[in-house]
Amino acid sequence: MNYDVAIIGGGIVGCAILNKLTRKNLKVVLIEKGNDVAVGASKANSSIIHAGFDCKPNTLKAKFNVRGNELTFKLAKELSVPIKQCGALVVGNDLNMVNELFNRGKANGVKGLHILNREQLLTKVPKLNENITCGLFAETSGITSAYLLTIALAEEAVINGAEVKFNTKIKKCVKNDFGYNLIADNLNINAKYVINSAGASYNEVAKILGTEQHEIEFRRGEYFLLDSNIEPLTNLTIFPLPSKFSKGVLITPTVHGQTIVGPTSYESDNTTITTVDGLNEIKEKAVNIIKDIPFNKNIRNFSGVRTICGDDFIVEKSTKKQNIINLAGICSPGLTAAPAIAEYVAENLLGFNNADKKMKKRVPYTCLHDLNEAERNKLIKRNPDYGKIICKCECVSLGEIKEALNSPLKPNSVDAIKRRVRAGMGRCQGGFCLTKVIKTISENLNISEDEVVKENKGSNFYVSNINPKK
């Protein structure tokens, strides 16, 4: 099979590029070693749409952040992905540093920046710690769902002719007359252009492609996810003044009504563990922003790993191999920057400057939780499966899970369903609905429950044919 472009890596950046190149009417394939898109850093971050005031001027981060902010709000609305322009505060007691961030934001072209004193800050966040004296308010910052946006970008692309290959790990790349022959255990294709958007696996893929290796630093960030039944701590995102390595431990609402507190920033070996020391650090730092945070209402701890290459993103044509694009070190604000990176790759690096074609729209997932009683009754009358509640915490029905299983990317894992319709995302974290979700996947995909996985290959819940000790 021949393609115009092959993209390796199904995170937010890879899927944004897949979507953009599909809009350019190209034949595109995305190759992902995992069982779904958004299984790496794109599923485990703060989901913040950054304004762009903290990026150093004249960097790719600054350029793509500010442009990406504009594009992300537009794309999310087109794709029916939840997004909210709630604004963000950076707070502390160093007015000189606040002024520096303000001036940096202005240099980057960020609109809607305001320096606030304590009295002005308290009108926005009454529970601020008494040590906070000043801050910067950014109107254009917002929140979304990083994994839903990634999924939606890929789904729309597939609906419009793109292809996605899961559980596929490239093992060989050979130059040929067409372009490049990419070979995996379950794949043998040709592509004129290849894009390495493999994130944490960038160097592994670069070695196979024969392109530039880059020194990558992994930094792990741990989080608390607080229950939706608490009184909201804040209606906007609150950062401390940033450090060299991190934007700091932040407090932000989610688009689903919960609260995230974190992250840490530790050198890592690309493992997503959570630690007692890390979680205690979050508690100690977060109360310097807002006192009396109800950490006893925590329903989940998780972590994500950022890949860092020096002080900036790497978005470049390979000088070693013609028609290969290298993308590395896409850490924060990578989520916000993704649509702008996709635009730049398509139009500047690959030279596809033709107008975008009109796309067939993806249908958003039904959300029973958001419907009123009349709407629910009408839906249930049409399909009784929507009246059978599987996940009580998030009010997710059998109909919604079946709908997700038959969506464009054909998900087949428990976590893939969780990301799409929130079964298992609530207070009990799947404690009551997990076995029902496994059963539903098994029945609808006509596989045994032993074959159902949590996420990727090998993460089965049940193991059959175990020989007991004699």
CA distances from 291 to 127, 262, 284, 317 (A): 7, 15, 10, 48
- Let me know whether 76 and 15 are in one domain: yes
In the numeric block, the tokens 């958003």 are attached to 364
Query: Is 82's pLDDT higher than 60?
Result: yes
* CATH number assigned to the domain comprising residue 244: 3.30.9.10
Q: How confident is the model at residue 463 (pLDDT cuts 50, 70, 90)?
A: confident
pLDDT digit string, tens, across residues 212-237: 999 999 999 999 999 999 999 999 99
Number of domain units in the chain = 3
At residue 52, φ and ψ (nearest 5 deg) are 110, 15
In a domain, 154, yes or no: yes
- Let me know whether 74 and 117 are in one domain: no
Lowest mean pLDDT among 175-189, 240-254, 374-388: 240-254
- Let me know whether 221 and 300 are in one domain: yes
- Let me know whether 348 and 403 are in one domain: no
Q: What percent of the chain has pLDDT over 70?
A: 98
User: Domain ends where: 364, 386, 405?
Assistant: 364
Give me the domain span that covers residue 42: 1-84+143-215+309-364
Query: Is 85's pLDDT higher than 60?
Result: yes
In a domain, 285, yes or no: yes
Query: Is 468's pLDDT higher than 70?
Result: no
- Let me know whether 377 and 400 are in one domain: yes
In a domain, 462, yes or no: no
Q: How confident is the model at residue 467 (pLDDT cuts 50, 70, 90)?
A: low
- How many Å apart are CA 138 and CA 241, to the nearest integer? 14
In the numeric block, the tokens 């107008």 are attached to 355
Handedness of CA 231, 247, 300, 73 (dihedral sign): positive
Cβ proximity of 194 and 6 under 8 Å: yes
Q: How confident is the model at residue 317 (pLDDT cuts 50, 70, 90)?
A: very high
- Let me know whether 70 and 17 are in one domain: yes
- How many Å apart are CA 336 and CA 341, to the nearest integer? 10
Strand (E) or helix (H) holding 377: helix 373-382
Cβ proximity of 159 and 431 under 8 Å: no
Active site residue 50: yes
In a domain, 209, yes or no: yes
Cβ proximity of 53 and 141 under 8 Å: no
* CATH number assigned to the domain comprising residue 179: 3.50.50.60
* CATH number assigned to the domain comprising residue 380: 1.10.10
Which phi-psi region, left, alpha or beta, contains residue 398 (left: φ > 0; alpha: ψ -120 to 50)?
A: alpha
- Let me know whether 68 and 170 are in one domain: yes
The whole model's pTM is what? Answer: 0.96
- Let me know whether 11 and 79 are in one domain: yes
Q: How confident is the model at residue 387 (pLDDT cuts 50, 70, 90)?
A: very high
- Let me know whether 284 and 428 are in one domain: no
Closest listed residue to residue 328, CA positions, set 346, 345, 316 = 316
Q: What is the pLDDT of residue 151?
A: 98
In a domain, 461, yes or no: no
Buried b (16+ CB within 10 A) or exposed e, 258-271: bbbbbbbbbebeee
294 prior amide bond cis, ω within 30: no
In the numeric block, the tokens 């050198």 are attached to 267
- Let me know whether 279 and 394 are in one domain: no
Give me the chain's average pLDDT, please: 96
Handedness of CA 79, 85, 91, 95 (dihedral sign): positive
- Let me know whether 298 and 442 are in one domain: no
**31, β-bridge pairs:** 8, 165
- How many Å apart are CA 310 and CA 216, to the nearest integer? 8
**350, β-bridge pairs:** none
Q: Which amino acid is at 383?
A: N
**194, β-bridge pairs:** 6, 324
Long-range CB contacts for residues 110-113, cutoff 8 Å, separation at least 24: 110/51, 110/52, 110/53, 110/66, 110/138, 110/140, 111/139, 111/140, 112/51, 112/138, 112/139, 112/140, 113/51, 113/53, 113/137, 113/138, 113/139
- Let me know whether 241 and 300 are in one domain: yes
Query: Is 76's pLDDT higher than 90?
Result: yes
Q: How confident is the model at residue 470 (pLDDT cuts 50, 70, 90)?
A: very low
- Pair of tokens at residue 253: 């609402």
- How many Å apart are CA 155 and CA 152, to the nearest integer? 5
Q: How confident is the model at residue 116 (pLDDT cuts 50, 70, 90)?
A: very high
pLDDT digit string, tens, across residues 161-183: 999 999 999 999 999 999 999 99
